[in-house]
Every structure is written in C-alpha cells, then in structure tokens.
C-alpha cells in the first residue's frame, strides 16, 4: 500500500510517498512532483514484495537473536540430527557473545573478527571454523531467501587455519590387541561393536544405532538410511563380520525391529539418540587402555578400515562409496598409503635382470 502526501514548504510544494507492505517496515521518500513520487512508490512496492528492495533499515529492524532462531527453525532443523544439534550449540555461543538484541545489520567484519579472536582463546580452530561457517551461512540465507539486505562480514575476515586431519590407524597387531581387550569388557556387546567398526569403516553412531532389519546376513550388506550427509548407502560385510553378527543374533534371539548393540532404554535422551555411539565411549576407553593403546580414538577405527582397504588394493572411488563420502576429496588423505603399498609391491621385482636370487 502506498500513500502520497502533498506538503507546502518555503520552496513550494513537495510530495512524500510512503510505502507500507505487511511484514516490512514502512519506507518514505520526498519528491518535487507527484508523478515522481507515484513512480517511486510503485517501483518500491514491487521490489519489496519481490524481496529485492535493499533498504538497510530492514536489516537493522531484525535482531541477531531473531535471525538465528529463524535459521535454526527453518534451515538447520532440516539437516541431519547430529548436524542440527551441533549448529544449535554453535548458535548459542554466537548469540551469547554477539548479543541477542544486536541489530542484524550492525554486525560488521570487526565484530566477527573480535568473536573469532575471543573464541580462539577458549576452543580449537576447528570449533571456531564451525561456528563461523554457521554465521556465514546465516548471512547468505538472510540475503538470498529472506530479503534482508545484508552483506556477509564473515567473508571479509580470515578464518583460523584448519587443523591437520587426524589419520591414526591401527596396525594388524594393534587391532588384535584391541579386540582381545574388548572381549574382557563388562559390556558384552563391545567386542562385536568394535569388530563391526573395523570391518566396515562405519561411523561409530551409525553402527551403534543399527537395527536387525537393516542387516541382510545372506547378502552380506547393511543398509543405512539416516547418514551424516543424508545420502542412504549400502555397506558390504566381510564374511567374518557376517558370521559374527549371525552368532550375535542367535544369542540375542530378538526381533528385526530391535537394536543390534544397544537396548531401547539406552536411547532416552535426544543427545544419545543423535549420537548413540557415546554409549560405548566408557567401555571403549577401558578396553584401549587394557590393550596398551591409550592414544587411539573411536573414530580411528574408521580410519583403520579405510587404510587397510587402500593397502589391500581397493581403489579410491570404491573406498569413498563404502565410507559414504560424496566426493573423493575426503579420501585423498589415504592416497599416500596406496603409493607406499605400490612401492612395496614393485620392490618385489627389484632383482629382475640383476642376476640376484
């Protein structure tokens, strides 16, 4: 809706156009002629409705807290449960420091740089990068989809250098020690759980949340519907793992809808439902210490499976499919193992033509 108000001043008549569109703050501008005022009002009304009007006051009328809440409810909530929970935690940190009442349009590169520097004193570069990634995505969505005329201050600062990815993997001897130690655990499902991680390369919570109806023991495959990147995938089983799971099912004697490694009452909280692998953390920590491997992490078992697949001659594309990576970039960290493995193999013919036995 637009209104044209004619005013008389010392210089003559002027025309002030005021545009009001539901859901937006009103905007006004004064012209010398009614025609100019009407044309501007029509164009502005159309731009606002099309979410193309860049009135900086629109960004100033939205608080940071409101923008974050909208992002969590309409965008983050559609992501994987673990991702959504992580983003809620990151958002809480951002709002606590930047301020829930801070005008969204007032957040500058200096504001973000200050946040970065303060957080780097408390948490790792990896955590700060995650929080800044959320903030950057928030500004992008606000401009492209919500019609809020803001730039992206995160794009104007330097982000912390990403930490070097951890690729610790267990040797054959270490894997034997860990499995042997896990058999002595009071948690009787720790051994088959760790065995599954080592023989599939699954993420810890993917394995912990498995139900029997996801496993086809005859075809030796597991179907994962709810994955980290939301892409369903089929995970092949080794013959040894299929046999181990078959024996476990006979002992459990439970229905197909039941969990493989946990009980339903162990998944009571939202945190555990999103990351059921944490139910094995304490037992795993005890087992790794008994095995003399205090430096390993649960995720290292995924690296172990990947590393041994590569050293067995599996190609990068197949490895990415098994692990559930959309691109080859995430498995490039293992290519040096492939190179080393090939060098070892080629050295076997090093005496060819040399007259050496």
Domain locations along the chain: 2-52, 64-156, 172-345
**235-277 per-position pLDDT tens digit:** 999 999 999 999 999 887 666 678 999 888 887 777 777 788 8
More confident residue, 132 or 335: 132
Give the pLDDT score at 24: 73
CA 214 to CA 193: how far, in whole Å?
Answer: 15
Give the pLDDT score at 231: 78
Give the pLDDT score at 165: 64
Give the pLDDT score at 32: 84
Residues 331/325, Cβ–Cβ less than 8 Å? yes
Q: Check whether 183 has a pLDDT greater than 70.
A: yes
Among 86-90, 267-271, 347-351, the least confident range: 347-351
Residues 80/205, Cβ–Cβ less than 8 Å? no
Q: Check whether 23 has a pLDDT greater than 80.
A: no
Residues 142/150, Cβ–Cβ less than 8 Å? yes
**49-77 per-position pLDDT tens digit:** 876 666 666 778 889 999 999 999 999 99
- The helix-helix angle for 125-144 and 109-120 (nearest 10°) equals 160
Q: How confident is the model at residue 103 (pLDDT cuts 50, 70, 90)?
A: very high
**185-219 per-position pLDDT tens digit:** 999 999 999 999 999 999 999 999 999 999 999 99
Residues 260/223, Cβ–Cβ less than 8 Å? no
Instruction: Report the mean per-residue pLDDT for the chain.
Output: 87
Beta bridge partners of 235: 222
Query: Does an H or E element contain 29, and which?
Result: strand 27-31
The mean pLDDT value for 298-304 works out to 92
The CA dihedral of 310, 306, 195, 170, to the nearest 10 degrees, is 90
Q: Check whether 357 has a pLDDT greater than 60.
A: no
Q: In CATH terms, is domain 172-345 a member of 3.40.47.10?
A: no
Give the pLDDT score at 355: 66
On the CB side of 170, CA atoms within 13 Å amount to 29
The mean pLDDT value for 63-92 works out to 91
Give the pLDDT score at 130: 93
Range among 12-26, 137-151, 158-172 with highest mean pLDDT value: 137-151
- DSSP string over 165-191: PP-----HHHHHHHHHHHHTSSSTTHH
Give the pLDDT score at 313: 83
Q: Check whether 344 has a pLDDT greater than 60.
A: yes
Residue 343 CA to chain centroid, in angstroms?
Answer: 36
Q: Check whether 117 has a pLDDT greater than 90.
A: yes
Residues 306/201, Cβ–Cβ less than 8 Å? yes
Residues 25/147, Cβ–Cβ less than 8 Å? no
CA 355 to CA 242: how far, in whole Å?
Answer: 47
Give the pLDDT score at 290: 95
**135-161 per-position pLDDT tens digit:** 999 999 998 888 888 889 999 999 998
Q: Judge whether 64-156 and 172-345 match in fold.
A: no
CA 120 to CA 330: how far, in whole Å?
Answer: 25
Give the pLDDT score at 273: 74
The mean pLDDT value for 69-96 works out to 91
Q: Check whether 287 has a pLDDT greater than 70.
A: yes
What is the third-level CATH fold of 64-156?
DNA polymerase; domain 1 (1.10.150)
């Amino acid at each position: 809706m637009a209104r044209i108000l004619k005013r008389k001043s010392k210089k003559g008549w002027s025309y002030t156009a005021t545009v009001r569109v539901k859901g937006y703050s009103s905007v006004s501008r004064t012209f010398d002629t009614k025609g100019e005022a009407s044309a501007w009002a029509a164009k502005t009304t159309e731009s606002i409705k099309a979410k193309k009007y860049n009135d900086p006051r629109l960004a100033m009328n939205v608080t940071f807290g409101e923008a974050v809440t909208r992002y969590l409810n309409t965008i983050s909530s559609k992501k994987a449960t673990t991702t959504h929970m992580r983003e809620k935690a990151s958002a809480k940190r951002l709002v606590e420091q930047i301020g829930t009442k801070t005008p969204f349009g007032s957040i500058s590169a200096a504001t973000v740089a200050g946040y970065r520097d303060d957080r780097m004193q408390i948490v790792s570069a990896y955590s700060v990068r995650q929080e800044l990634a959320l903030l950057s995505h928030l500004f992008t969505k606000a401009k492209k989809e919500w019609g809020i005329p803001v730039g992206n201050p995160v794009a104007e600062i330097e982000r912390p250098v990403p930490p070097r990815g951890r690729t610790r993997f267990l040797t054959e001897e270490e894997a034997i020690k860990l499995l042997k130690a896990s058999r002595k655990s009071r948690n009787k499902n720790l051994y088959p759980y760790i065995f599954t991680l080592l023989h599939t390369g699954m993420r810890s919570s993917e394995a912990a949340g498995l139900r029997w109806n996801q496993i086809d023991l005859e075809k030796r495959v597991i179907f994962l519907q709810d994955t980290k990147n939301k892409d369903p995938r089929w995970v092949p089983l080794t013959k040894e793992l299929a046999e181990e799971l078959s024996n476990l099912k006979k002992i459990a004697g439970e229905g197909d809808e039941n969990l493989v490694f946990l009980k339903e009452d162990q998944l009571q909280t939202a945190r555990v439902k999103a990351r059921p692998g944490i139910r094995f953390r304490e037992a795993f920590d005890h087992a790794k210490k008994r095995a003399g491997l205090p430096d390993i992490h649960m995720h290292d078992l995924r690296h172990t499976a990947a590393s041994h697949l590569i050293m067995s001659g599996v190609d990068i594309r197949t490895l990415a499919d098994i692990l559930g990576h959309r691109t080859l970039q995430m498995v490039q960290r293992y290519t040096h193992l492939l190179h080393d493995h090939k060098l070892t193999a080629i050295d076997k013919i090093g005496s060819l033509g040399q007259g050496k036995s």
